[in-house]
A and B are shown apart, each in its own frame.
Chain A
Amino acid sequence: MIGANGEGKSNLLEAVELLGSLRSHRSGHDRDMVRHGQSRALVRGWCGDGQGHGLGAPGSSLDQLELELRRQGGRLARRNGKALDRQLDLVGPLRCVGFSALDLELVRGEPSQRRQWLDRVVLQLEPVYAELLARYGRLLRQRSQLLRRGVSQGEQQLQSLLDAFDQQMALIGTRLHRRRRRALVRLQPLAAAWQERLSGGRERLELRYQAGSRLEGEEAEAPWREALLEQLRRQRPQERRLGACQVGPHRDEVAMLLGEEPARRFGSAGQQRTLVLALKLAELELVQQLWGEPPLLLLDDVLAELDPRRQELLLEMVGTGHQCLVSATHLASFSATWQGGDSQVVRISRGELVDSPTNR
């Protein structure tokens, strides 16, 4: 998809991402995804397994997926015209892995970016994780409001309310910690193998899960929950001084070490970029292993950011098995291999496909 900035390329990829994962890499709020002045937005797509089903001719062999977003919040999901009880039930037929220019900041950016990357992987492994994440986020917001506004009936009431939040946060927080750690354990060997390959065997990558709570020993749920509960209680004076909860998964970090050194501080720009690519390829490989078929790959404005050698490596991994939606401002930024084969180039202007300059 070729088009100038602001013509709607990213919008289209975002729509596909929403149908596949219920999330957007560009915004965490539905209100930002609804056109200005409108109350609702609708994403509709058709997907099939690619086994001889005619694309572009929505027939019975293709699933019709719809997601309706409302400015006020609250979503409605439909499959083949039938409303689903939960939007989560929409996830499944369309698996996708996104890679955007924003991901290039993954290594040197804020810890929250690495948490979001890990969360996207966990979501692929276990869609129900979205509910845990949403619940934990709401607990954090309610808790900080409680501390900010205070209570009318004194210290004891405040402590009782904090107890009520602690119990829930220890439970949900432990579940987040366990799932994130497990996902990272699975990603680690894949990412290390890609880093080794991309660096010509020179670099050894280690991913280390640094929990935002002190969690000892094996990842058994009950002891971790008890530990987190205790730490939540102990940090209260500090929490009130600093205005933010000091322990829990919202303070998790994924340490990325290249030969024992933190890549964030010591890696060169080139090394960091290679590392991002290794992480994304590991994610792609894991999702593929898990579902037994290649996910759709969404490359939003990112290919042009990679030098020809890295573009080639990405293409090698993607091979011919993946359907790949790529956006860029200029055709010239693709290496020749990307333009060959069965690729199709379309131009996008003001949110519409205007023509197909080359169809091979």
Chain B
Amino acid sequence: MHAFADALVGARRQVGQCSRCFHLSAEPLCEICRNEERRNGQLCVVADSRDLLALERTREYRGGYHVLGGLISPMDGIGPELLQIQPLVHRVDQEAMGEVILALPPSVEGDTTSLYLARLLRPFCLVSRIAYGLPVGSELEYADEVTLARALEGRRRME
């Protein structure tokens, strides 16, 4: 599975991204975005396509996604403008979302990005955050399906 994800990520430049959610896709719209049933008012925000694939493996989540393309990290020169945050705000505003679920890693950078996004998105809809039974410093990509499914289930509203 990891090799597959690596291959996908490596292929990014050739095949490009989905124009709506920024997941890797050969088509202008990815498979998930083309699926009408998955436009159910829920949007799950992830740092990158690997995390999206990890969440898909749980088979628990049936809504849409938005891939940020990284996390806010001033040390690495990554500010909000380098991530797909403007398109996210635009989508949440236009697509009448009921809930945005932030599924970012529990690191300093993940938390900073979550707090920043929650503030931006709260005027538009409910914002929640997946609950971590994961130890601090762990990564979504390496979490097993059961742990991730539970984290999704036990998400908390961000105040």
A contact residues around B135 at 8 Å (CB): 85-86
Quick one: CB contact mask for B66-79 with A, threshold 8 Å, 1 for yes? 00000011110101
A272 CB to closest chain B CB (Å) equals 38
Contact B77 A149 (CB under 8 A): yes
A157 interfacial by beta-carbon distance below 8 Å: yes
B contact residues around A153 at 8 Å (CB): 80-81
B contact residues around A186 at 8 Å (CB): none
Contact B112 A164 (CB under 8 A): yes
* Given A135-B136, A152-B79, A157-B80: A164 and B115 interface contact (C-beta under 8 Å): yes
B contact residues around A143 at 8 Å (CB): 74
Report how far A34 CA is from B137 CA in the complex, Å: 23
The 4 closest A-B pairs by CB, nearest first: A164-B115, A145-B74, A146-B74, A164-B116
B145 interfacial by beta-carbon distance below 8 Å: no
Contact A139 B108 (CB under 8 A): yes
| Selected contact of A142 from candidates B109, B136, B137, CB within 8 Å | B109
* Given A142-B75, A168-B108: A131 and B116 interface contact (C-beta under 8 Å): no
B141 interfacial by beta-carbon distance below 8 Å: no
B12 interfacial by beta-carbon distance below 8 Å: no
Interface bin, chain A: 20 to 34
A141 interfacial by beta-carbon distance below 8 Å: yes
* Given A135-B136, A139-B108, A145-B74: A160 and B116 interface contact (C-beta under 8 Å): yes
A contact residues around B136 at 8 Å (CB): 131, 135
Contact B72 A161 (CB under 8 A): yes
A64 interfacial by beta-carbon distance below 8 Å: no
| Selected contact of B75 from candidates A141, A161, A167, CB within 8 Å | A141
Report how far A272 CA is from B136 CA in the complex, Å: 40
B2 interfacial by beta-carbon distance below 8 Å: no
Q: Which B residues, 102 to 119, have Cβ-Cβ distances below 8 Å to chain A?
A: 108-109, 111-113, 115-116, 119
A165 interfacial by beta-carbon distance below 8 Å: yes
Report how far A161 CA is from B75 CA in the complex, Å: 13
**A interface list, Cβ under 8 A from B:** 85-86, 131, 135, 138-139, 141-143, 145-146, 148-149, 151-153, 157, 160-161, 163-165, 167-168
A145 CB to closest chain B CB (Å) equals 4
Report how far A151 CA is from B79 CA in the complex, Å: 7
Report how far A172 CA is from B116 CA in the complex, Å: 18
Report how far A148 CA is from B75 CA in the complex, Å: 10
**Sample of 8 further A-B pairs with CB below 8 A, known A138-B108, A151-B81:** A142-B74, A142-B108, A149-B79, A160-B120, A161-B112, A161-B116, A163-B119, A168-B112
Contact A142 B80 (CB under 8 A): no
Q: Which of A151, A152, A161 has the most CB of B within 10 A?
A: A161
Contact A160 B112 (CB under 8 A): no
Report how far A165 CA is from B79 CA in the complex, Å: 14
Q: Which of A131, A142, A143 has the most CB of B within 10 A?
A: A142
6 A–B contact pairs at CB < 8 A?
A148-B74, A161-B116, A163-B119, A164-B113, A164-B119, A165-B112
Report how far A146 CA is from B72 CA in the complex, Å: 10
B102 CB to closest chain A CB (Å) equals 12
Report how far A335 CA is from B115 CA in the complex, Å: 60
A245 CB to closest chain B CB (Å) equals 13
A contact residues around B80 at 8 Å (CB): 151, 153, 157, 161
A157 CB to closest chain B CB (Å) equals 7
* Given A86-B135, A142-B108: A163 and B115 interface contact (C-beta under 8 Å): yes
Contact A168 B73 (CB under 8 A): no
Report how far A142 CA is from B112 CA in the complex, Å: 10
A contact residues around B119 at 8 Å (CB): 160, 163-164
Q: Which residue of A lies closest to B138 (CB)?
A: A85
Contact B115 A168 (CB under 8 A): yes
Report how far A141 CA is from B74 CA in the complex, Å: 9
Q: Which B residues, 38 to 76, have Cβ-Cβ distances below 8 Å to chain A?
A: 72-75
B contact residues around A148 at 8 Å (CB): 74
Report how far A223 CA is from B119 CA in the complex, Å: 23
Q: Which residue of B lies closest to A158 (CB)?
A: B79
